[in-house]
């Protein structure tokens, strides 16, 4: 089942579904100047929502970790779990940064196209 455009619970899935619709240059890089403005705005919105979701989730994980000091200290929560959580958090941070860059590029290109049309 495909998530609807208005489903705020699936921005990452929607973003990944839309990325192949972007135009690419001969060197294999995204060419936002050749992509439709409506697509760029939609991708920017999903990237920004994904970024926000990641930030909120990482904040919640940090809050939980701060209140888990005793189980961490007495090894109820093992070091391997904390290490895995650290790797996940690092990957999510990388994804958030990529979403921020993608959203900015798409917004800039869509805005420039709107200015040319207006």
For 41-82, how does the pLDDT look when each residue is reduced to its tens digit (9 = 90+)?
Answer: 999 999 999 999 999 999 999 999 999 989 988 989 998 999
Q: What is the mean pLDDT of the chain?
A: 89
Q: Considering the domain boundaries, does residue 3 fall inside one?
A: no
How many structural domains are present in the chain? 1
Q: For residue 103, how many other CB atoms are within 10 A of its CB?
A: 22
Determine, yes or no, domain membership for 75: yes
The predicted pLDDT at position 114 comes to 64
What domain range is 65 assigned to? 36-117
Residue 31 lies in a domain: no
Domain-embedded: residue 110? yes
Q: Considering the domain boundaries, does residue 81 fall inside one?
A: yes
Report whether pLDDT(1) > 60: no
C-alpha–C-alpha distance, residues 18 and 73, integer Å: 44
Instruction: Flag whether 40 is in a domain.
Output: yes
3-state per-residue secondary structure call for 67-100: CCHHHHHCCCCCHHHHHHHHHHHHHHHHHHHHHH
Joined together, the tokens standing for residue 62 give 């940090």
Is position 65 within any domain?
yes
Indicate whether 15 pLDDT > 80: yes
């Amino acid at each position: 089942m495909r998530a609807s455009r208005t489903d705020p619970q699936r921005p990452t899935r929607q973003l990944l579904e839309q990325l192949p619709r972007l135009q690419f240059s001969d060197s294999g890089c995204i060419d936002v100047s050749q992509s439709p403005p409506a697509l760029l705005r939609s991708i920017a919105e999903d990237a920004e929502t994904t970024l926000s979701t990641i930030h909120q989730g990482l904040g919640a994980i940090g809050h939980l970790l701060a209140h888990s000091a005793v189980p961490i200290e007495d090894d109820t929560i093992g070091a391997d779990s904390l290490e895995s959580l650290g790797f996940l958090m690092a990957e999510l941070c990388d994804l958030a940064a990529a979403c921020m860059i993608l959203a900015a590029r798409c917004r800039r290109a869509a805005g420039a196209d709107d200015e040319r049309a207006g």
